[in-house]
Amino acid sequence: MALELTDSNFQETVLDSDKLSVVDFWAEWCGPCRMVTPIIEELANDYEGSVNIGKVNVDHNSDVSMKYQVRSIPTILLIKNGEIVDKHVGTISKAKLAEKIEAHK
């Protein structure tokens, strides 16, 4: 299951982690976000223990959303060692996102 990332746990869970983190910025009212959610959940199961995969609700976590200048959702950031190594805005297939994960893990 994907991690619930918040303004309060983002530093510890994502930035301080030595693992690759996949962060999905989303909102409940966003149609394309609902299309990406099952993909994020499947990948969270596939990569459990080796990659942190989580979701940030932009409506409830404005600090993290503003820090990364998320203007469109869904936005997916791949972060490793505290740095963004890849970014995708919009919907994406499971295969394409898995390819990005494999390139950076």
Catalytic residue list: 30, 33
As a whole number of angstroms, the distance between CA 36 and CA 42 comes to 10
Question: One-letter amino acid identity for 19?
Answer: K
Place of tokens 């199961």: 45
* C-alpha distances in Å from residue 73, one per residue of 53, 90, 103, 105: 17, 6, 23, 24
Rounded to the nearest 10°, the torsion over CA 54, 59, 60, 63 is: 80
